[in-house]
Amino acid sequence: MPITHSDVGADEQLARRILIRARGIAPCIAGLDVESEEGKDALAILKGVYARAADVGTGAVSSRSRNGTSISLRDIKSAFAVEDIAGLRSLCGDVSVELPAAHARGSFPTDRPVSRLWPEGEYT
């Protein structure tokens, strides 16, 4: 059985929007069985996105009214963190989006200019 909006959260409209956005990020989600390990992983990510989106000010909801029963939404993609996107894509085998690296990337010269003036080990 595929992941449905009722698996993601209680607010049907918000859950559907999150599910649609998730399918755009990682199309294989539409075919994942909710009882499979990949389905459970995807559901865990989607429930986290749902919780963030439903929280006023931190996710997709910018304001909420109590008596007028109104809700203001930002663009739903703002509820997806980089880790959520990378996690969903990894479930489909797409690793093109990497998490931000904590270390510098690139090649650095091993030869230092100072070593030409005072070779290491020569004066010790």
pLDDT in tens, 50-100: 988 877 555 555 566 667 666 565 667 777 888 999 999 999 886 554 545
Where is pLDDT greater, at 111 or 49? 49
With respect to residue 10, please indicate whether it lies within any of the assigned structural domains: yes
In a domain? residue 114? no
pLDDT at 74: 60
Rg, Å, the chain Cα set: 23
pLDDT, mean of residues 7-18: 91
Domain count, the chain: 1
Task: Give CA separation, 112 vs 7, 88, 105, 107, in Å.
Answer: 58, 43, 19, 14
Host domain of residue 45 = 5-91
Task: Give 61's strand partners.
Answer: 73
Closest CA to 7 of 37, 38, 44: 44
100-118 tens-digit pLDDT: 555 555 665 566 666 666 6
pTM score over 0.85: no
Whether 113 is in a domain gets the answer no
Does 97 map to a domain? no
The reply to whether 55 falls in a domain is: yes
